[in-house]
Amino acid sequence: MPDSTTSTAGPAAASVLPAGAAGAVEAALHARRSVRAFLPQPVEPALVERLLAAAARAPSGTNMQPWRVHVVTGAARDRLCDALVEAHLAGQGEADPDYAYYPPQFFEPYLSRRRKLGWDLYGLLGIGKGDKERMRQQHGRNFRFFDAPVGMIMTIDRRLEIGSWLDYGMFLQGLATAAVAHGLGTCPQAAFAEHHRTIRRLLPIGEGEVVVCGMALGYPDWNAPENRLVTERVPVADFTTFHTD
């Protein structure tokens, strides 16, 4: 597990939250959701940098800090999105992912959870069972970052092991939670790993880096039906065992 020690000493009080902050942190954690529709309102570059700096406080084994982030906005974002949508519509990428995100065959309880998420989302969007074309179009919206003005492509050095991937997850969680505190929304997007070759053509990402995921960042459009989706979580008792003796 990540080493909680630090190499630079600082004031002890720096790790103590101000009064009342615990509730705000918990509220941000509970409020975070995957946002799939954004307003065109831009996000100030200084705020993006601030969020990344906060997320970078995530723990990592021996302070390795394995995360690498490519932020795309403006014309750079549009060029990337256009190329990715074209590749998606051409059916490219799905057979050549940069890594296996999911198991080759789903099993319970994960299969049921996955199916419920899909049908809950499609139900809000009015996509019926068997409407493969609309499902394909909705999946393709990933590659426009769901219209978010800021897109991020996350990569990691291919030589690193699973421990660094665990650290990366904590970085992503920190980024998503910090965004909520500023009225922003995010959507972590594993779909980008399918199209890593297209991404490499447009961004300076070598074969020595794995495309982990993308992340959309922006101000949520709360009038969009897909943003009414609130996913369920199993109770703590279902995944936790307390040992006292």
Provide the pLDDT confidence category of residue 148 given band limits of 50, 70 and 90.
very high
Q: How many domains would you assign to the chain?
A: 1
pLDDT of 9 above 50: no
Task: Say if 17 falls within a structural domain.
Answer: no
Task: Say if 125 falls within a structural domain.
Answer: no
Strand ordering across the sheet containing 185-189: 68-72, 150-157, 209-218, 185-189
Provide the pLDDT confidence category of residue 12 given band limits of 50, 70 and 90.
very low
Assigned token pair, 85: 């949508």
Task: Say if 107 falls within a structural domain.
Answer: no
Direct distance between the N- and C-terminal alpha carbons of the chain, in angstroms, rounded to an integer:
24
- Contacts of residue 168, defined as CB under 8 A and 6 or more positions apart, other chains included, come to 66, 67, 154, 156, 212
pLDDT of 188 above 50: yes
Residue 54 sits in a domain whose CATH number is 3.40.109.10
Q: How far apart are CA 216 and CA 185, in angstroms?
A: 8
Task: Say if 82 falls within a structural domain.
Answer: yes
Residues, the chain: 245
16 versus 162: the higher-pLDDT residue is 162
Residue (of 99, 230, 95, 70) closest to 165 by Cα position: 99
pLDDT of 1 above 80: no
Average pLDDT, the chain: 93
Task: Say if 192 falls within a structural domain.
Answer: yes
Question: For residue range 81-120, what is the model confidence (pLDDT) as tens digits?
Answer: 999 999 999 888 666 788 999 999 999 999 999 999 999 9
90 versus 156: the higher-pLDDT residue is 156
Task: Say if 236 falls within a structural domain.
Answer: no
Q: In terms of residue numbers, what domain contains 39?
A: 33-100+142-230
Task: Say if 238 falls within a structural domain.
Answer: no
pLDDT of residue 16: 76
Task: Say if 52 falls within a structural domain.
Answer: yes
